[in-house]
Each structure stands twice: as C-alpha cells, then as structure tokens.
Amino acid sequence: MMFRSYSIAAIAATATIIGTGSFLPTTDAAAGYPLVREAMVFNPLSCNSNLEFADCSSTSLESIIDSATSNSTEILIPCGTCATLTTADGSTLDLSTKTINIEGKLYVPPSAHVTIRTRGIFIQGELQIDPPSSLEGLRVRLVGVDDVLFVPNDENADRCDVEGCNEGSKPVVVSIILLIVLFILIDVFNTLV
C-alpha cells in the first residue's frame, strides 16, 4: 500500500514554478499519471463571481451529504454556494464510495474535528481551512484503488474528454491554483507584519 501527501509548501512551490496559470495535479503520479499538467488551463467559474458575499453558515457540508442520493458517486458543493463543515465531535464522515467536488466554496472552521473518508477531492472553486482550535482538526483519508474520473464544470468541460479526466486512484485535484497562491501570500504577509 502506498501513501502520498502534499503539503501547502509543496503546492506553493509548484505554483511558483508554474506562475499564475492553473494546473491539475494528481496524487497518483507513480501510477503513470503526471503530477502537473501545465497545458490544461482552467478558467475561474463565473458563477462564483460573488462567492465572497455568500453566507457560509446557511449550508452545511453535512446537509449536502444527507441530501445526496445513495447511488451518487460524488458530493457536490454547487457553484456559487458556500458550505461549512460543522462536525466537531471527532466522528467519521464515511464517503468511501464518493468523491467531494467543490465547485463553490467549502469552509472548514477552527472548531471542525472530523475524519472524512473519500475516494478523492476536486477543487474547482475555493477551499478555506482555518487553523484548527485543537491538534485534532480535520483529517482526510483517501481510499480506494479504482481510477476516479474528474468531470469539470460546464464552463471548463472542454478541458477533459466527454467522460472526464482520468485522475487515477485517490486524487486531489486543484484546477485553479491562483486562489491558493493568493491566500498563501496574504497569510505570509499578515504573519510578517
């Protein structure tokens, strides 16, 4: 069994090499899938243009999970929507047959204390994780051995085949890196001031 993980520093270093272009990394480079596909430029989703004004407290990730059908293979945070991870009791959200597709925004507050088991994570919008208030915080366990297909939002549908982009097993896909780099730079600046 092989485990792979990437730190924020590694993502930032990759972003520095690539510049402000978007990229699509995968955690399954050892299986023949490239870590970075620079030629695949994804555009920010226009339906997220007012995302900074969205009320994150009105929708929880858990309510989206509860409303998903049992035969669904993904948990989708819709474009233009902000959802908050509210579980704080240390339990496990078992999504081991599903992927998490963030087209809008997922906010993980300091109080979150949960383990999420999932086949993969796709970030097409924003993922904001505040520093946890305890050492436990959020844990994500990527599971499964089967390849996972990433199907982008309609605005970027032409970046993949009709079926989607094969991302291998246990993928973490970030299609818009500019937002992450911006948050890292702001955070570093605030720390230095």
Residue 30: band (very low, low, confident or very high) from pLDDT cuts 50, 70, 90:
low
In a domain, 3, yes or no: no
Average pLDDT over residues 50-70: 94
- CA–CA distance, 128 with 109 (Å, rounded to integer): 8
pLDDT tens, 133-165?
Answer: 888 889 999 999 999 999 999 999 988 888 899
Question: What is the extent of the structural domain holding 118?
Answer: 8-192
34 found inside a domain: yes
| Residue 138 forms part of a structural domain | yes
Please check whether residue 80 lies inside any domain of the structure. Answer: yes
Residue 179 belongs to what H/E stretch?
helix 177-192
Mean pLDDT of the chain: 78
**What is this structure's pTM?**
0.74
**CA distance from start to end of the chain:** 44
Please determine, for residue 59, whether its predicted confidence score (pLDDT) is greater than 90: yes
CA dist 174 and 185 (Å) reads 17
Does residue 1 form part of some domain? no
Question: Does residue 180 belong to any structural domain of this protein?
Answer: yes
The answer to the question of residue 132 being in a domain is yes
Q: Is residue 2 part of a domain?
A: no
Residue 118 and residue 127: Cα distance in Å, rounded? 16
Total number of domains in the chain: 1
